[in-house]
Structures are given as C-alpha cells and as structure tokens.
Structure 1
Amino acid sequence: MRYGELRRVIAGITNTMLAQSLRELETDGLIRRTVYDGRPVRVDYDLTDKTEVLIPILLELQAWGEQNIQGPKQ
C-alpha cells in the first residue's frame, strides 16, 4: 500500500503517528518499504514473511478477546 492509502484506511491517525509507526515496523522487520525512482517519488509498504506468520496468531487473539472480554456497559 502507499502512504496515502494507509492514511485513508486508518481512521483518525495523524501524519506524525503514521510515519513513526511505519518507521518502527520497518525497523522491526514487519514491513518492507520500497522506494521507486521518478517524479514524484513513489513509496510502497508491504508485509514481510515474518508478518505473514503473525496474522493467524493475531486473528486468534482477536477472536479470544471478542469471546472473553466484555466491552463498555451501556
């Protein structure tokens, strides 16, 4: 995905927070940043193999949380 696409799908995130998060994820080896030459410069972000392995684990944690943790009472 490109930076602008990420910005649109993550509601309420600031430019500063998104840029910082992307840098941290790249440093941790969870995303790959690819820069393409041209005007304007194009940058794409995608998941690494390391992250692909984490997705099923995170989905299981989400399912567990939905089954075992109650949301705020209304």
Structure 2
Amino acid sequence: MCVMTKIKESSTNFANKQILANDCPEVFAANIIGGQWSLAICCYLINGSLRYNEIRKCLPNITERMLTLQLRKLEESGVVKRTVYAEVPLRVTYELTVIGYELSPIIRELGKWGEKLKGLSI
C-alpha cells in the first residue's frame, strides 16, 4: 500500500505524485511527513515514546480517527514504532525508529526557518 494520500490509482493526479516521488527523494520524504499532523507527531516523539492519549493531549485539535490514520501511516513508513505490552490493562506506546530519529536535525532546521518566516509577518 502506498503511504501517500489515498487517490484513485487510475487518476492523473496519482500518476503524477508517483512519478514525482520516484524521481525526487525530497518529494518522497515530504509525502511521508507532509501535512501538519505527521510532522507534529514526530516533533513530540523526538522527546521519547508516548502513549496514544499522551499524543492526543499534545494535539488537542486532532480527531481520534486522524491520529490513528497518521500513526499507521508513520508506522508503515518505518518512521514510528508501535509497541504493545502484554499487561492488564493493555499498554501501547509509540516511538520514533532509528530512521525517525534521523528527522531530528531536519525538524530543528524547519523550526528555525519557521521562526524566521513568522518574524517576517508573511
């Protein structure tokens, strides 16, 4: 299953996204962490593993469905690892994988760039 948004595979838009993602590693990477929620989830997980409800508290405006979809997408991409502990009650944590932690300097640089842009009052 493709990690990009679900677009009809027969559509021109889907084909164009596939070509761009295949030809440009930056576009491929942006498709994985693109969008406000995926990047925000990664920002919080940089500080360590979190349970679902802890992530939800960090992102109060995200719906449960969207959080679940984004966590699955990041897990399928190899950016986030989901660990289920055989305890009662069941405990599930999410954390960045080694590849996910490689996003740390990129996220920091995006933060610096965003602060610079905010200062320009765009």
- Residue number in structure 1 paired with 2:71: 22
Cα deviations by residue, 1:29-66 (Å, 9 ceiling, x for unpaired): 11100001122211010111111111111211221232
Distance 1:47 1:54 in 2: 9
Q: Please list every run of 5 or more consecutive structure 2 residues that lacks an aligned counterpart in the other structure.
A: 1-49
Task: Give the Cα separation in 2 of the matches to 1:59 and 1:16.
Answer: 28
Structure 1: runs of 5 or more not aligned: none
Provide the TM-score with structure 1 as the length reference: 0.84
The residue that corresponds to 2:52 in the other structure is 3
| Cα distance between partner residues in 2 of 1:5 and 1:54 | 21
- Which structure carries more helix by proportion? 2
Runs of 4 or more consecutive aligned structure 1 residues displaced over 4 Å after TM superposition: none
**What is the aligned length?**
72
Amino acid at match of 1:3: Y
Instruction: Tell me the C-alpha RMSD between the 2 structures.
Output: 1.5
Structure 1 window deviating more from structure 2 (32-41 vs 16-25): it is 32-41
Partner of 2:89, secondary structure, is coil
Structure 2 counterpart of 1:40, which letter?
P
TM-score w.r.t. structure 2 length? Answer: 0.54
The corresponding residue for 1:44 is 93
- Aligned position for 2:111: 62
Q: Which residue identity lines up with residue 4 of structure 1 in the other structure?
A: N
Relative to structure 1, the CA distance from residue 11 to residue 71 in structure 2 (aligned partners, 3 Å threshold; closer, same or farther) is: farther
Of structures 1 and 2, the one scoring higher in RCO (CA 8 A, sep 6+) is 1
